[in-house]
């Protein structure tokens, strides 16, 4: 067969085609992958290396985040604050210097009381200290809002913020003076201290934060296990 090909000879082909055939043969012999004429190699190497998406984010250790919950935080805070403010205005206008209103017999009454201490009437000698603490809590919550992605945390911090703002407003604007003002309390259960809606918001927010911490949920939405 080889002798026949030598005698017959090979047909004349253009030099460019012959060079391309020789180059393809050399690539095949060396084990390389020929690239068709006019085709371009994919950017960034192979297709898997240039692919971006949730799988790539998980592989790099980054956690996909949802929306920030700043609007929820300040919405809950505004609702709690306004509800507390309106209730105190009504109590001062309609209930102060009047007889208590029985809601459930002797078990629950509405009675206007001025409280110079902390929540539920504790620490009346430290009004200024409680005012500073309330202001510090507001600043901390406002700074934490930048990293807030968890809806339950947004609700809890919103309750804390609204309650702290409600009582801080009394501390600043009510008598006997700035930062020494007495808070208006009016919810009076039997055998318990008198409190207001701001105190209730603070307590509910604190309980929710404790529950979220036990579950391992952080304000940024991540879940950790100890």
What gap in Å lies between CA 142 and CA 111, rounded to an integer?
33
Write out the two tokens for 150.
């968890």
Which residue of the set 12, 170, 185, 218 is catalytic?
185
Please say whether the beta carbons of 203 and 119 come within 8 A: yes
List phi, psi (to 5°) of 115: -120, 120
Reference 127, options 181, 67, 79; nearest CA is 181
106 is catalytic: no
Please say whether the beta carbons of 159 and 204 come within 8 A: yes
Write out the two tokens for 32.
């390389």
What are the distances in angstroms from CA 209 to CA 52, 150, 196? 36, 12, 20
Which residue of the set 15, 84, 199, 226 is catalytic?
199
What gap in Å lies between CA 183 and CA 185, rounded to an integer?
6
Please say whether the beta carbons of 77 and 164 come within 8 A: no
220 is catalytic: no
Where in the sequence numbering do the catalytic residues fall? 185, 199
């Amino acid at each position: 067969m080889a002798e026949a090909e030598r005698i017959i000879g090979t047909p004349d082909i253009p030099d460019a085609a012959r060079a391309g055939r020789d180059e393809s043969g050399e690539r095949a012999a060396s084990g390389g992958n020929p690239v068709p004429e006019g085709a371009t190699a994919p950017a960034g190497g192979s297709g898997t290396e240039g692919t971006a998406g949730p799988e790539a984010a998980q592989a790099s250790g980054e956690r996909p985040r949802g929306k920030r919950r700043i609007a929820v935080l300040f919405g809950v805070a505004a609702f709690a604050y306004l509800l507390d403010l309106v209730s105190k205005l009504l109590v001062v206008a309609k209930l102060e210097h009047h007889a208590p209103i029985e809601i459930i017999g002797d078990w629950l009454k509405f009675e206007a009381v001025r409280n110079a201490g902390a929540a539920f009437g504790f620490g009346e000698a430290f009004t200024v200290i409680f005012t500073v603490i309330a202001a510090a809590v507001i600043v901390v919550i406002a700074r934490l809002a930048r990293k807030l992605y968890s809806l339950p945390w947004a609700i809890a911090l919103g309750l804390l913020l609204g309650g702290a703002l409600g009582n801080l407003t009394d501390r600043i604007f009510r008598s006997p003076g700035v930062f020494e003002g007495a808070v208006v309390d009016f919810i009076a259960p039997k055998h318990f201290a008198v409190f207001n809606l701001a105190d209730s918001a603070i307590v509910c927010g604190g309980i929710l934060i404790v529950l979220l911490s036990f579950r391992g949920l952080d304000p940024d939405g991540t879940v950790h296990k100890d």
